[in-house]
Structure 1
Amino acid sequence: MELGVYAVVGIAVIVAVAAFSRKLGVAAPIILVIVGVGLSYLPGVPEIEVEPELVLDVVLPPILYAAAISVPIMDFRRNLATITSLSVVLVIVTAFGAGFLLFSLLPDLNLAAAIALGAIISPPDAVAATSIGRRLGLPPRLLTVLEGEGLVNDATALVLLRSASAAAAGGMLTPWATVGDFVYAVVLAIIVGFIAGYVTVWLRSKLNDSVLDTAISIAVPFVAFMPTEALGGSGVLAVVIAGLYTGHASSAAFSAQARISDRINWRTIQFLLENAVFLLIGLEIRTLIGAVDAEILSVEESIGIGLVATAALIALRFLWVGPLVLGLRARERWAERQTLQRWLSMGYSERFPRQNRRWHRRRRRERAYERQRADLEQLRLEQIDWRGGVILSWSGMRGVVTLAAAQSLPQSTPYREQLVLIAFTVAVVTLVVQGGTLPWLIRLLKVQGIDESEDRRQLATLLDEISYAGISVLEDPASAVGIEEEIDPDLLERVRQSTFLRAEAAWERSRESVSPSETHAETPHRLYRQLRLAVVQAERERLLDARARGAYPSRILAEAQTMLDIEETRLRPSRADH
């Protein structure tokens, strides 16, 4: 009963803070940490101490999976080198750099334990940064890099933590053994994650029941996580791989209803779990401070070391991101040369019969060239300049993994309570200071986000392309629907007109002026939607009246309501309309 009350209060606080933060223009995790600290000191609030296994084994997998399925694998692939640099190499450099710093500040702490703490505080959490970035319109490529870094860096940090903790406990690990353990953990995670994603996608594609599909979907992160961890691999990386594969394969394998359900379910799960963890960070502060033995190292000294470590982490990130951003230009020039070489190697003068093996080989080369050229065009359009580099450098807030991993340190670790407080200090300070000032920094640097008018034009072009592909089915409509008799021409015309309706509406929006007076003009398709919504609303009122009168069976009323809901969802304006 008591646990249920805490859960209800926690959800109420999370929802209230999230709603308030949008009006305030501050990321919800920042406010939740502050609220948690305040609540922890209220009379009657019990001391909170979360088991690290609960966060690492139960909470973290669904959070990462929810984030992974929403990351387009195409964007992830295009920025793989940058993401790898930040989420693997920088995490390793940061872990060792912070470890040596802590080793010099805490004389009784052995180097392995210091590196373990360095691994704990090394991975940034992208939640606050991406929520702020989306609201303020950061460039999509910058958001992709931040999201990709947040997905992979946890795996790097936790593998490092495992190796360093083993060494601190007396295990004599050589550098080569550590490297071997890291490679094994990563390779195993990729294999198991891919298998878990492939099998569950195949299984879900065979189901025609949204309830069963949702049940399997919720189990996927644990299906990937548990066997990988049992075999000594990186469970969190396996979850990310499974999520990336599922998100990519869902377009072809799942029904529209399954995709919509998945999107809503996982956004809700991610929202609750992520924000609950940030609230817990604040609530645990009082407990952590009370556990510190002042005779070994006082609270003030521990917080001071945490502040020094925070400054070092920020400096390291700036020193790393600067050359990384400069190197992106060189990579783009290299991509230009590679694209040109691929184009020259295709041999356009050659012509082969359509079913010839060499024709198929040529088609593969052409497709690879088209993809490489598209990658290059996107890199040119969404370049990360020095402003983006500054934002990327300042978006190093710590969060979920730092919270849980710090408390997983063995009890025998010297300065354990102080190390946990140091890690929490880093997490709270980076969240409040960096997260709190990030919106101001974005506005100050005037970072240019997406061009909405160009997005509208590209959407209209894409809808044109797919509409013409769809309309080609009407050249032989009888075979398309599996009948032999001739189809009524009026019916074909209705299908043809409705097919082009989306594209026509998109072109209409793309031609609208950005001035407020013209943007809200009543264009034909907008007026059509408004009229249809008015009709649906009138139908819904009559449906409610019929339900109140008990004129129809409940199953009939429910089916009619579902039909109206689907129609209303289709008619509601999308982001492009605003």
Structure 2
Amino acid sequence: MELGVYAVIAVAVIVGVAAFARKLGVAAPIILVIVGVMLSFLPGVPKIGVPPEIILDGLLPPILFAAAISVPLTDFRRNLAPIAGLSVVLVVITAFAAGFILFTMLPHLSLAAAIALGAIISPPDAVAATSIGRKLGLPPRVLTVLEGEGLVNDATALVLLRTALAAALGTLTTPWAGVVDFFSAVVIASVVGLVVGFVSVWVRSKLSDPVLDTALSVVVPFAAFAPTEALHGSGVLAVVITGLYTGHAAPSRFSAQARISDQINWRTIQFLLENGVFLLIGLELRTLIADVENPEVLSVWNAVGLGVIAVLALMVIRFVLIVPLILGLKRRAERAERSVLREWLMISYYRDHPVRYRWQALRKQRAERRYERHRSDLEEYRQEAIDGKGGVVLGWAGMRGVVTLAAAQSLPNSIPYRPQLILIAFTVAFLSLVVQGGTLPWLIRALGLQGADAGEDRRLLAQLLDDLSEAGLAVLDDPETAAASTTQIDPEVVERVRQSSYLRAESAWERTLLNDTPQESRPHHVYRTLRLAVVDAERTRLLLERARGSYPSRVLTEAQSLLDLEETRLRSRSR
């Protein structure tokens, strides 16, 4: 009974804080942590201690899966170098550097245990940064890098933590064994993640019932996580790979209904779990302070002071390593330009010389595909280059969160200063969220960073819809074949389909070309407004018929579904 009450209160707090945070322009996780801290000291609030397994094994897989399926694989591939630099190289360097600093300050802590704590506090949590960035309009590429870093860095940190703890407990034979363990964990995770992704997508593509599809999708992250961990791989990385594959395959393998259902369900799951964990972080402060059993060895305030030092060290390390990353991105754009030039020369050669053999034709096709892809990549690098201002945001956006506190609580009891180390990790997470996250909006405004050009996006959307309409209308040249009909189709029906196909592109061009015209005067807006008024009147009549009991409930439900679909379509077009 009490658990149910607490769950209701928690959800109410999360929803209320999220709504308030949107109006305030602050990321909800920041406020939730502060609210959690304040609630933890209220009279009558019990001490809260969540076992780390619940977060690492129960909550983290669906959180990462929900984030991964929404990241376009093309964007992830284009930014693989900076993502790998931040989520692997930076995490490893940060873990060793921060660990060495803590090793010099805590005399009874071994170097391996200190590196374990360094691994715990090394991975940033991108939730707060990306939510702020979207609201204030960060450049899309900066957001992609932050999201990609947040997906992969947890895997790096947790594998490094496992290796460091093995060394601290004396079960790691040589440093090379740790290196082998790290790479084997990555390989196992990659294989299992791809296999689970392929199998789950194949099975779900055969399901026509959205309820069954949703039920299966909920267990997919655990299906990737559990066997990978059993094989001593990185379960977190396996979940991310499965999510990336699922998100990439969804448009071609899942039905529209399944994709819409997936989007709503996983956004809801992600919202509740992410924000719930941040609330738990704040609620656990009182318990963490009470767990410091030997303050004469290292007092609470000394532990907090070490946490402050660790936060400052993490900031410096991140900014130092951001500089070569930005320079590397510039060199990568230059290499991409040379690569595109070479491929263009190869294509030009084949255009000027006849193709005589099959292998030449295949080589020409591959060259043309590579050229188109690399040319698109080059345009992306040019238009959305990450400059010094973007680098400053990347450096300041290193807030810690969920994994830091959960991983700290997984430290064995035999590790010296264990309660204090957990408190240090909490201090790092709390201060980075409140200080860096709280000032990130001001920093973005001060730097004058601009997000995607809304006008240009509208123009590109209209252009894309034109291309899609052209491809779609080509089907109407032979309507009988398209409709699998053995009889001739009425030309009026074909024309109705043709005209309805024009509406999307016309509406998009209207929003682009008539952007300065009042919305109320735009033809398509007037059409949608009138159609919504009609749907609203129809729904009123439907409710009246339901009250009268004039029709069977199953018929009323079907009519309600049709009206809901129509209203959803009209409102989505009005955005």
TM-score by length of 1: 0.98
How far did residue 68 of structure 1 move? 0.0
**Residues 510 and 312 of structure 1, relative CA distance in 2, 3 Å threshold:** same
Correspondence for 1:319: 320
Secondary structure, aligned partner of 1:461: helix
Contact conserved, 2:197 with 2:242, CA < 8 A, in 1? yes
Contact conserved, 2:163 with 2:172, CA < 8 A, in 1? no
d(CA) in 2 for partners of 1:173, 1:314: 33
Query: How many residue pairs get matched?
Result: 572
Q: 5 Å matches for 1:43-54? A: 43-54=43-54
d(CA) in 1 for partners of 2:359, 2:435: 60
Correspondence for 1:59: 59
Correspondence for 1:86: 86
Q: Which runs of 5+ in 1 are unaligned?
A: none
d(CA) in 2 for partners of 1:553, 1:359: 64
Correspondence for 1:340: 341
Q: 5 Å matches for 1:91-240? A: 91-240=91-240
**Which letter maps to 1:38?**
M
How far did residue 512 of structure 1 move? 2.5
Correspondence for 1:564: 563
d(CA) in 1 for partners of 2:158, 2:230: 15
Correspondence for 1:23: 23
How far did residue 538 of structure 1 move? 0.7
d(CA) in 2 for partners of 1:98, 1:161: 13
Q: Given the alignment, which residue of 384, 387, 393 partners 1:385?
A: 387
How far did residue 352 of structure 1 move? 4.2
How far did residue 356 of structure 1 move? 4.5
**Residues 351 and 254 of structure 1, relative CA distance in 2, 3 Å threshold:** farther
How far did residue 522 of structure 1 move? 1.9
How far did residue 175 of structure 1 move? 2.2
Secondary structure, aligned partner of 1:29: helix
**Which letter maps to 1:493?**
E
Secondary structure, aligned partner of 2:64: helix
**Which letter maps to 2:441?**
P
**Which letter maps to 2:98?**
A
Q: Which runs of 5+ in 2 are unaligned?
A: none
d(CA) in 2 for partners of 1:145, 1:173: 36
d(CA) in 1 for partners of 2:358, 2:547: 68
Matched, 1:359 2:358: no
**Which letter maps to 2:167?**
A
d(CA) in 2 for partners of 1:564, 1:323: 56
**Residues 173 and 531 of structure 1, relative CA distance in 2, 3 Å threshold:** farther
**Which letter maps to 1:320?**
L
d(CA) in 1 for partners of 2:352, 2:86: 43
d(CA) in 1 for partners of 2:355, 2:551: 66
d(CA) in 2 for partners of 1:230, 1:94: 28
How far did residue 330 of structure 1 move? 1.1
* Deviation string, structure 1 residues 375-415 (Cα, Å, up to 9, x no partner): 10011110111111101100000011001100000001000
How far did residue 172 of structure 1 move? 3.4
Matched, 1:349 2:352: yes
d(CA) in 1 for partners of 2:116, 2:298: 19
* Deviation string, structure 1 residues 165-212 (Cα, Å, up to 9, x no partner): 111111234221111111100011011000000000000000100000
**Which letter maps to 1:445?**
L
Correspondence for 2:372: 370
Secondary structure, aligned partner of 1:247: helix
* Deviation string, structure 1 residues 338-357 (Cα, Å, up to 9, x no partner): 1111111232223448x945
Contact conserved, 2:125 with 2:399, CA < 8 A, in 1? yes
**Which letter maps to 1:509?**
R
Between 520-529 and 66-75, report the one with greater CA deviation. 520-529
Correspondence for 1:7: 7
Contact conserved, 2:514 with 2:522, CA < 8 A, in 1? no
How far did residue 358 of structure 1 move? 3.5
Correspondence for 2:483: 481
**Which letter maps to 2:567?**
E
Contact conserved, 2:91 with 2:119, CA < 8 A, in 1? yes
Between 343-352 and 443-452, report the one with greater CA deviation. 343-352
**Which letter maps to 1:46?**
P
Secondary structure, aligned partner of 1:109: coil
Correspondence for 1:420: 422
How far did residue 236 of structure 1 move? 0.3
d(CA) in 1 for partners of 2:497, 2:20: 45
**Which letter maps to 1:555?**
R
Correspondence for 1:536: 535
Correspondence for 1:252: 252
How far did residue 149 of structure 1 move? 0.1
* Deviation string, structure 1 residues 220-239 (Cα, Å, up to 9, x no partner): 00000000000000000000
d(CA) in 2 for partners of 1:482, 1:358: 38
Correspondence for 1:298: 299
d(CA) in 2 for partners of 1:294, 1:522: 71
Secondary structure, aligned partner of 2:521: coil
Correspondence for 2:75: 75
**Which letter maps to 1:58?**
G
Secondary structure, aligned partner of 1:199: helix
d(CA) in 1 for partners of 2:187, 2:502: 47
Contact conserved, 2:99 with 2:111, CA < 8 A, in 1? yes
**Residues 555 and 352 of structure 1, relative CA distance in 2, 3 Å threshold:** farther
How far did residue 520 of structure 1 move? 2.5
